[in-house]
Copies of this chain bind each other. A is one copy, B any other.
Amino acid sequence: MASIATATFADRLAEAVERKRSQLVVGLDPRLDLLPVELRGEAVLGRAEAANAYARFCCGIIDAVAPYVVAVKPQVAFFEALGGDGISALERVCHYGRAAGLLVIADGKRGDIGSTARAYAAAYLEPHDEHEALADALTVNTYLGGDSVEPFLQACRLYGAGIFCLVRTSNAGAGDVQELTLSDGRRVWQHVAALVGEWGADLIGERGLSSVGAVVGATVPRAVAEARKLLPRAVLLLRADVARAFTSGPASALVTASRSVIFAYRGSTEDWRGAAGAEAARLRSDVWSVSGW
């Protein structure tokens, strides 16, 4: 298995996408008020119990969706809201996901400078003592510029980690900063996309994709096509399936779905695990067929 350990994140991802014929990533966004009733009762007793319920829920979802997805994407904030107990639960979930053969993308949107950025890289992307890294990849905010990203790039080089840089998000407020027009006519996010391409240029694996990817809000289809053009080597992390995102190969885009999968039981007569598995299976086929591979 030595080759796995030294393979780039992008190569590991591409291998998994082709083997499983899936570009689907399930977001693990546990929320107390949406947990199945069998877990909710325990969860209201206190933070430690809620954290335990989150871990049990997410591990159950991992079991259910594992055949259909290439990665899970735990949303750090929901665990962080439960303090130290929550982060311990996140650790359990990440280890469980990796043990299930899935890639783990920690959705933390971290970004800071100098030794602080190094600490975030260590927290998420680097092995410690005898333990493997918490995650395979981390989402990163680049408002602080290139030197703030360097410690994460270092983890990509040394440990085969990956990052997904925020480029153009899909929320209403994205226009406030990302869509501002620069003096050269480009948008801020287009400039950020170009930077992301530069940062990832020396991290391109054997399959032609870089371990430095980009988060692009696919509710803006024009932005996806432009991002694809600006970042031909990047893996795009999308929130909906857009055919033209996949033109750089089957693993050149990933589609995330969170609540529609993990809380699928709420609109179903099935058990929560079964409902999540069925919805993941359906989405995986949809996305694969849209991707054209």
Within 8 A of B (CB), among A201-232: none
**Assuming the A-B contacts A29-B115, A116-B29, A129-B46, are A84 and B78 also in contact, with contact meaning beta carbons closer than 8 angstroms in the complex?**
no
Cβ-defined contact, B78 with A116, below 8 A: yes
Q: Are A145 and B176 in contact (CB under 8 A)?
A: yes
A166, CB-defined interface residue at 8 Å: yes
Tell me whether A143 and B143 are in contact in the complex, defined as CB-CB below 8 angstroms, given that A78-B116, A109-B111, A183-B181 are known contacts.
Answer: yes
A175 to chain B, nearest CB (A): 7
Q: Is A87's CB within 8 Å of the partner chain B?
A: yes
A81 partner, pick from B109, B122, B169, beta carbons under 8 A = B122
Interface-facing stretch out of A16-24, A61-69, A187-195? A187-195
Decide if B174 touches A145 in the complex (CB within 8 Å). Answer: yes
Cα separation A81 to B141 with both chains bound (whole Å): 18
Inter-chain contact A146/B173, CB cutoff 8 Å: yes
Using a Cβ–Cβ cut-off of 8 Å, how many residues does chain A contribute to the interface with B? 63
Q: Does A100 contact B (CB under 8 A)?
A: no
A80-B75 CB under 8 A given contacts A29-B115, A29-B116, A47-B128: no
Question: Which residue, of A145, A172, A183, A188, has the highest number of chain B Cβ atoms within 10 A?
Answer: A145
- Asked whether, in the complex, the Cβ of A75 is within 8 Å of the Cβ of B145, the reply is no
Q: A47-B129, A144-B174 provided; 13 other pairs, C-beta below 8 A?
A: A46-B129, A75-B119, A77-B116, A80-B87, A83-B87, A83-B134, A84-B89, A144-B173, A145-B173, A145-B178, A146-B173, A147-B172, A148-B171
Could you list some 28 contacts between A and B, CB below 8 A? A29-B116, A47-B129, A77-B117, A77-B120, A80-B119, A81-B122, A81-B123, A83-B87, A83-B88, A83-B134, A84-B84, A84-B91, A109-B111, A113-B169, A113-B171, A143-B143, A143-B177, A144-B166, A144-B177, A144-B178, A145-B171, A145-B173, A145-B175, A145-B177, A146-B173, A177-B188, A177-B191, A182-B182
